[in-house]
Chain A
Amino acid sequence: MKQKKTLSRGMKCFLYVLPVIILIFIFGYLPLWGWSYAFFQYKPGRALLDCKFVGLQNIKDLFGNAVMQRNILRVLKNTFGIKFLGYVFSPLPMLFAVLLSEVRSKRFQKLVQTVTTLPHFISWVIMFSLALAMFGTDGLVNTTLHNLGSETTINVLNSDKHVWLTQVLLQQWKEVGWKAIVYFAAIAGLDQGLYEAASIDGAGKMQRIWYITLPQLIPTYFVLLIMDIGKFLNSGIDQYLSFGNALNKEYIEVLDLYVYNIGIGSGQISYSVAVGVLKSLVALVLFASANYVSKKVRGSSVF
């Protein structure tokens, strides 16, 4: 009797949440049927089943077809290049937090934090507009150079040189302050006794940073880095859509943008889905591995 009662309560609870599960199913799982497009030679305007079934040919083409292969390689190179260059800058938020928290004036700390976090909350479209205002051909830098009598025009936004570096630096400008917050919180939670003991033993500021603060932040740094590597292929698209143009296209087209361009831009649905399928699978493996490593490092998993 009692058994039955708990079961019906559990059922009732489930029925309440069922609409949410259905929503999740419709928008999270139902799109998987779209993967079938990868196995047909889909032509827009026709029903999928009227199109020619080609099996794995589309996926083979990605690696066999010379043009496709060249494009995929280029796009992967861009995705990897921008990401790796980003990793070079990955200790920056940690260093920023460590140094800023050593500054005596709390008010100055607060001010710097407030201002540096703001760019995180603006969109990449706004970023592009700000970049145009500063570095565009009619932007502040160039008009000033001309006023000073220089003949050259610096055109970083509109050139095929240093595209990766420009994009990564923009990311740093936008995100360093935001990413530093985790480290500020971690620093605030460190045991103050250690610092006092070190001071009594005669350790200077730099020694305290080097031997006490940094070693305790390194695990956080690695966990965040690993999680970021887990999301490696999801480079996002907003930034590259905003900053991409005909001149830097060769170097700015990352995987997501490429999928968009061939799928929506030129209507090659089947190929773009094939690329997307491979991406989703690789991303899943990457994420699982990152989760596994992170579990080893800190003893708890994300999922």
Chain B
Amino acid sequence: MTLITKIKKMSREELIFHLIAYPVFALVLLVCAYPFWYLFICTISDNKMVDLGQIFLLPKGIHYGNYIKVLKIDNLSNAAVVSVLRVIVGTGLQILVSSYAAYFFTKQEMWHRKLWYRLVVATMYFSAGMIPVYLNIKMLGMLNTFWVYVIPGMVGVYNMILIKTSIEALPADLEESAYLDGAGYLTRFFRIVLPLQKPILATVGLFGAVNHWNDFFTTKLYVTRPKLYTLQFLLYELLNQVRAIMEQPQDSGPGYDSLTPMATRMTMTAIVVVPIMLVYPFIQKYYVKGIMIGAVKG
């Protein structure tokens, strides 16, 4: 009833707009969400039916065999451990170092503060280039080490700017009284400033974690030891094999009861994408704030 009264109250233009807008946005929704849904239902459906194109909206012949088999793939559990470690250590270090730097760069009394700050920020806009950076990492002996994942990105300059802006918004008296009580820089940073930065640290941390999780190029460029592969890179390699097969004309695949190439890659994709889905609600809570500060600062 209320819907009808609402519609009656609308002007003709308003009504036409909504008659067009709702279907259009519903289509947008479908286009965005369906590939994820399709991938997911395929992983738990009967592999034969997937190959024959009989799965559209709901899973059929539900089984979890794909997951069980994919989890047994050589090196997968190891890659999962590397990925998770990388996210935890990498994000933790990044938050710590970025906020530490941000705090000190808010201190007007620092010797040549402007100069150092500019030097740091300039690296955001200027890079020596992929190969020189590679040669540098090689010279530092960081090829094929876990550290190449977490150390070069430790000072997230962009994050540092965000945190600095947030620290500058704190009232100055807050630190002043602690300073008069004789608290040093580090005490003030850890005891007073950092606890008040939780919202921005959460934002920066979530974005950092997603970036660490999603990155595969670092592995591609610097790592050749399979023990250090991440999940994303393993998936990339797997898709590469599929691509190699794809480029030649292909006969029918192996028996349907076994893991088909398509089932393998879909299941693995689902495994890699699930963590993103899990943290997405939290990211969503913070991203508007993040992108707004980002839009101002470039």
> Could you list which residues of chain A lie within 8 angstroms of chain B, going by C-beta atoms?
6-7, 9-14, 16-17, 20-21, 23-24, 26-35, 37, 99-100, 102-104, 108, 111-112, 114-119, 121-123, 125-126, 128-130, 132-134, 136-138, 140, 143-144, 146-147, 158, 173, 177-178, 181-182, 184-185, 204-206, 220, 224, 227, 237-238, 241-242, 245-247, 256, 259-260, 263-264, 269, 272-273, 276-277, 279-280, 283-284, 287, 302-303
Contacts and interface: CB of A to CB of B under 8 A. Distances in A.
A143 to B, nearest CB: 3
Contacts of A14: 110-112, 116
B265 A205 contact: no
Contacts of A247: 247
Interface of B: 6, 11, 13-14, 17-18, 21-22, 24-25, 28-29, 31-33, 35-36, 38-39, 42, 51-53, 56, 97, 100-101, 104-105, 107, 109-112, 116, 119-123, 125-136, 140, 151-152, 154-155, 157, 185-186, 210, 213-217, 220-221, 232, 235-236, 239, 242-243, 246-247, 250, 262, 265-266, 269, 272-273, 276-277, 280, 283-284, 287-288, 291-292, 295, 297-298
A133 B39 contact: yes
Given A31-B133, A130-B36, A132-B239, A117 B53 contact: no
Contacts, number: 261
Given A122-B273, A143-B52, A129 B235 contact: yes
7 closest residue pairs by CB, A with B: A34-B132, A143-B53, A276-B129, A302-B298, A28-B123, A123-B214, A31-B128
Contacts of B36: 118, 130
Contacts of B126: 280, 283-284
15 contacts: A14-B110, A20-B155, A26-B136, A103-B25, A111-B29, A129-B265, A138-B51, A138-B262, A140-B53, A185-B292, A205-B13, A259-B129, A259-B131, A284-B125, A303-B298
Contacts of B246: 136-137, 158, 245
B125 A287 contact: yes
B107 A13 contact: yes
A33 B136 contact: yes
Contacts of B29: 111-112, 115-116
Given A34-B136, A35-B128, A134-B38, 13 more contacts: A10-B111, A34-B134, A117-B287, A121-B276, A126-B269, A126-B272, A130-B39, A181-B287, A242-B239, A263-B130, A276-B132, A284-B126, A303-B298
A108 B136 contact: no
Contacts of B122: 28, 303
A153 B288 CA distance: 42
Q: Does more than half of chain A's interface fall in helix, strand or loop, or is it mixed?
A: helix
A17 B116 contact: yes
B136 A181 contact: no
A125 B232 contact: yes
Contacts of B111: 7, 10-11, 13-14
A245 B100 CA distance: 44
Contacts of B155: 20, 23-24, 27
**A11, A122, A125, A147: which has the most chain B beta carbons within 10 Å?**
A125
Contact of A37 (B35, B135, B235, B239): B135
Nearest to B289: A185
B135 to A, nearest CB: 4
A108 B220 CA distance: 41
A303 B158 CA distance: 12
A181 B14 CA distance: 24
Contacts of A185: 288, 291-292, 295
B131 A118 contact: no
Contact of B53 (A147, A204, A238): A147
B297 A24 contact: no
Contacts of B35: 130, 133-134
B189 to A, nearest CB: 9
A205 B32 contact: no
B248 to A, nearest CB: 10
B204 to A, nearest CB: 15
Contacts of A108: 22, 25
B292 A143 contact: no
Contacts of B265: 129, 132
A104 B151 CA distance: 48
A173 B116 contact: no
Given A263-B130, A263-B131, A242 B53 contact: no
Given A143-B51, A241-B217, A204 B136 contact: no
A224 B295 CA distance: 8
A126 B291 CA distance: 23
A17 B116 CA distance: 9
